[in-house]
Chain A
Amino acid sequence: MSNEMRLILAGFGGQGLLFGGKVIAYAGLIDDREVSWLPSYGPEMRGGTANCSVTLSDEPIGSPLITDPTALIIMNQPSLDKFEDAIVPGGVIVIDSALTNNAPTRTDVESFMIPATSAAEEAGLAGLANIVCVGKLWSELAFCKRETLDAAIRKAVPARKAALVDKNLEALELGIGL
Chain B
Amino acid sequence: MAEKVLMKGNEVLAESAMRAGCKFFFGYPITPQTELSAYMAKRMPKCGGTFLQAESEIAAINMVYGASAAGARAMTSSSSPGISLKSEGVSYIAGADLPAVIINVMRGGPGLGSIQPSQSDYWQATRALGHGDFQMVVYAPSTVQEMADYTYKAFDVADEYRTPVMILADGMLGQMMEPVELRDPIEEIPERPWATTGHNNEREHNIVNSLYLDADLLDQMNHERYKRYEKIIATEQASEEFLCDDADIIVVAFGAAARIARNSVRAAREQGIKAGLFRPITLWPYPTEALEKTVAHAKGYLSVEMNMGQMVEDVRLVVGNRAPVDFYGRAGGVIPTPAEVLDKIVALNEKVGE
Chain A residues at the B interface, C-beta cutoff of 8 Å:
22, 25-26, 28-29, 32, 34-39, 41-43, 60-65, 67, 155
Contacts and interface: CB of A to CB of B under 8 A. Distances in A.
Interface residues of B, number: 24
A28 B178 CA distance: 10
Given A39-B175, A42-B116, A60-B262, 6 more contacts: A25-B177, A62-B266, A63-B262, A63-B338, A64-B176, A64-B178
A35 B338 CA distance: 18
Interface in B299-331: none
Interface in B152-187: 171-172, 175-179
B6 interface: yes
B335 interface: yes
B6 A35 contact: yes
B172 A38 contact: yes
B260 interface: yes
B175 A38 contact: yes
B179 A35 contact: yes
A67 B178 contact: no
Contacts of A60: 262
A36 B260 CA distance: 13
A65 B335 contact: yes
Contacts of A25: 6, 177
A63 B6 contact: no
Given A36-B177, A41-B115, A29 B259 contact: no
Contacts of A29: 4-6, 179
16 contacts: A22-B6, A22-B177, A29-B6, A35-B178, A36-B176, A37-B177, A42-B115, A42-B116, A61-B259, A62-B261, A62-B263, A62-B338, A63-B337, A65-B172, A67-B338, A67-B339
